[in-house]
Structures are given as C-alpha cells and as structure tokens.
C-alpha cells in the first residue's frame, strides 16, 4: 500500500539494516523519508511512491546502516606515547617506564602544558579519522588533567569540538582516572577535591553529560568510586565506570547499584556482575583495542552477558597509552575475532547498544520513525562485510541530521 506523506528528502536505492531491536532487520531496496532532522517514514521503496518530497537521493545499491556511535574514547590529550609502545615491544615493563617518568603521568604533564586550542587541534585530527568511517556520535572523556584547572580545560575542549565539528560529542568527566602526582600519597584527598569542588563546577557550567571513574587495584577503590558516584548523582549527573579490566573488584556490580549507563572493559567480570548489570540495564562496553595492545588473555564473559540479556556495546577506547585506535570499524572485527561476538552483535554494539551506553537510545542508534536521521551508506552487499574487512576506509557516505556530511 502506497504511503501519502510529505518530506524534505527521500533517500532510496539501497538495502537498509535498521538495527531495530538490535537486529539487522533488513529492508531490501528500502527508502527513508526525512523531515528536518527526523525520520518520518522507513520501508520498502515500492511503498514510498506516493511520498511527496522536495528532494530525492537515489543510491546505486549498497547498504544503509545507522550512524556509528563510538561510546568510549579519550580523544583529547596532549603529547604522544609511541616511544613507550616501542619500549614495551623491546621488553621494558610498564613499571620501568613509569619509573622513568612515562605512563599516564607523561600524558598528564603534556595535557597540563597544552592550551585549550592545542588540545582541540590535536583531537580534531584524530576525530576526523573516526568520522571518515561513518561515526556520527562520539563520547570523549577527560582524565588526563588530574587537577581542577586542567580537567575543566579538557572538558571545555571537548565541548568546543562538539560545537565545531559535524558530529554529536558527549562529554564525560573522568577526573577519578588515576592518582594525580600531587596526591600520589593521598588519593582520598583527590577524591574529596573532585566531589566537593570539581564536580559542582562541572555541573554548574554543564561541561559534562556523565561522570566516570576507574575502579581498579592500581586506581580507585570501590568505596572511593561510591563517593564520586554519590556526588555525581546528587548533582543530577549519570555515571559510567571503568571496571574489571585487570582484576575482579565487582566494580560492575557497584556501577549497577548506581544504575550506571555502562560498565566498561569487564575482562574480569563475573556472572554475579552480569546479573546485577542485567537487572539495572547497565550496558557492557567492550574494548578490544586495549585488550589487544596489552596482550591480555582474560576475555570479557560474553557468554554471561548473552545468558542474562546484558546489552553489549563496542568502542575504540582511543587513547595514547593502551588503545591508540582510530578505527571503530576495526573494533567490529576485533570484537568478533578476540571476544567471540557475532557480526550482528558487533554492529549492534556500535549502533543501538552504543546509544544505550550514552543514554540516547530514544533518539539514536537505529533507523525508525521518530529517531534522528543519522545514517551511513556503504558500498557493500551485506552487513557482515563491515565486520569482515580489516582496516582501510570502506567507501561510505554519511548523512548527519538529515544532510549529507
């Protein structure tokens, strides 16, 4: 039955993987009607004959997917740590590198020394690589300033990127990322500073969309993370957590108790953690780039997440130390080859479930009426091809907010 409707643009000529309900949900020879920035109709092209539109854009075959969402990155930072990567390959341990003044503290020094404009300029170059592969939404964390002034400068740089580039940028305050050098013997003092001074200012200036922390034996304890999360929730800010990357501290269960949007890494998560996350709706964000670069052997418990219905997302974790990854599509392949995900789970992990991890699945992550018109046209025949090809930029055309980017 033909549909009578008016719209700005009708996009036709390709199959559509809608990802509604987290499935491929393939519409062969489909059409998408867009009014303003919103999808107002989607279905087979044959049923769109009566749609009146100002413009029609016809693709010559291929596949349309939702815009890709990178829901965990650290794209804003100063300096470079490629020398440390080379040292590790030559057998120098992380502790030896840290003793030489390297590791995360070297990034902290470089970030503190960089102006906001310098941080924006270097991050823009990295972000452009993600955009070239169809990313339409990205999350970026602070956490390399580790003092109030530098953390605020990072968050302002993140907001500036969002205002200047054709991509939605979600900002996350990760001040509880590591011990600042000034607080290396008093990490609790930094937690108190974050809770009592930094977070209220971040909330007042609306510099972050969420608050994150690193719960690990070499970072902050579950009790300290609870303090940060309590302060964030009191300010009306949702929370996320780096958890179970190197050891089992049940940080994922802690995140679930605070109804966290996501718990990320999760190599050492248990079935108990999975049950808690399922009950709270907390998304498991898996980060194969760091797993690969650190040569880890403990895989995230994908089977527990499947068993208990925990949504699984994938992200690049783009950062200077453990995942210098600038290809979200490569993470699709690594999620399958390293973690045992299916191609459908992987694509869902960078669309609908990634949107869930950012708290915006009501308007992003799948192609359906009422959601924003963010989608990508790929010159491939089936969705699994996006997962199959290793590296390189597959030719694609990105539609962001209803317009060709």
Binding-site positions for 4-imidazolone-5-propanoate read 81, 144, 177, 245, 322
What CATH number is given for 68-358 in this structure? 3.20.20.140
| Packed helices 148-164 and 116-131: angle between N→C axes, nearest 10 degrees | 50
- Can you give the pLDDT at residue 88? 83
Could you say which DSSP state residue 372 is in?
B
Binding-site positions for N-formimidoyl-L-glutamate read 144, 319, 321
Binding-site positions for Zn(2+) read 72, 74, 242, 317
Spatial neighbors of 398 by CB under 8 A, at least 6 apart, are 67, 131, 134, 136, 375, 376, 377, 404, 405
9 to 34, 45, 404: CA distances (angstroms): 5, 13, 11
Distance CA 95, CA 210 (A): 31
Give per-residue pLDDT as tens, 301-358.
999 999 999 999 999 999 999 999 999 999 999 999 999 999 999 999 999 999 999 9
H-only helix segments in 179-286 = 187-193, 199-205, 222-234, 251-257, 271-280
Binding-site positions for Fe(3+) read 72, 74, 242, 317
Kindly list the domain boundaries of the chain, sorted by start residue: 6-67+365-404, 68-358
Give phi and psi for 156, each to the nearest 5: -65, -35
Lowest mean per-residue pLDDT among 87-91, 230-234, 266-270, 324-328? 87-91
Fold of 6-67+365-404: Urease, subunit C; domain 1 (2.30.40)
Taking all residues of the chain, what is their mean pLDDT, rounded to a whole number? 95
Give per-residue pLDDT as tens, 55-70.
999 999 999 999 999 9
Q: Are 246 and 215 in contact (CB under 8 A)?
A: no
Binding-site positions read 72, 74, 81, 144, 177, 242, 245, 317, 319, 321-322
Distance CA 196, CA 402 (A): 42
**Does this chain's domain 6-67+365-404 share its CATH topology with 68-358?**
no
Give per-residue pLDDT as tens, 80-98.
988 888 888 888 876 687 7
Q: How many CB atoms lie within 10 A of CB 4?
A: 9
- Can you give the pLDDT at residue 102? 78
Give per-residue pLDDT as tens, 271-288.
999 999 999 999 999 999
């Amino acid at each position: 039955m033909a549909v009578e409707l008016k719209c700005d643009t009708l996009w036709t000529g390709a199959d559509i993987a809608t990802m509604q309900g987290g499935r491929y949900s393939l519409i062969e020879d489909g059409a998408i009607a867009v009014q303003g920035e919103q999808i107002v109709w989607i279905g087979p092209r044959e049923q769109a004959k009566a749609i009146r539109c100002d413009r029609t854009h016809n693709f010559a075959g291929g596949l349309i997917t939702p815009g890709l969402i990178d829901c965990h990155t650290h794209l804003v930072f100063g300096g470079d740590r490629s020398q440390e990567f080379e040292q590790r390959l030559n057998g120098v341990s992380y502790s030896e590198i840290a003793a030489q003044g390297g590791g995360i503290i070297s990034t902290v020094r470089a970030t503190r020394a960089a102006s906001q404009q310098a941080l924006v300029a270097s991050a823009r170059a990295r972000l452009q690589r993600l955009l070239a592969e169809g990313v339409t939404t990205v999350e970026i964390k602070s956490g390399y300033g580790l003092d109030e002034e530098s953390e605020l400068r990072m968050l302002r740089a993140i907001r500036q990127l969002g205002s200047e580039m054709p991509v939605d940028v979600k900002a996350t305050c990760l001040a509880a990322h590591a011990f600042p050098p000034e607080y290396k013997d008093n990490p609790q003092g930094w937690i108190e500073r974050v809770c009592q001074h930094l977070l209220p200012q971040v909330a007042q200036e609306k510099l972050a969309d969420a608050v994150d922390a690193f719960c690990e034996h070499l970072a902050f304890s579950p009790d300290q993370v609870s303090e940060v999360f309590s302060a964030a929730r009191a300010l009306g800010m949702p929370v996320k957590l780096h958890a179970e990357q190197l050891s089992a501290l049940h940080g994922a269960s802690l995140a679930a108790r605070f109804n966290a949007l996501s718990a990320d890494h999760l190599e050492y998560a248990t079935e108990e953690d999975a049950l808690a996350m399922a009950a709270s709706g907390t998304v498991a964000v898996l980060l194969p780039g760091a797993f690969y670069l650190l040569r880890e052997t403990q895989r995230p418990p994908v089977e527990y997440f499947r068993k208990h219905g925990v949504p699984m997302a994938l992200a690049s974790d783009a950062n200077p130390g453990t995942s210098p990854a600038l290809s979200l599509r490569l993470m699709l392949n690594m999620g399958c080859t390293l973690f045992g995900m299916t191609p459908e789970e992987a694509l869902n992990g960078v669309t609908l479930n990634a949107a869930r991890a950012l708290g915006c699945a009501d308007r992003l992550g799948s192609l359906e009426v009422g959601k924003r018109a963010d989608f990508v046209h790929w010159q491939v025949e089936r969705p699994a091809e996006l997962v199959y090809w290793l590296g390189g930029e597959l030719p694609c055309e990105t539609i962001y907010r209803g317009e060709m980017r």
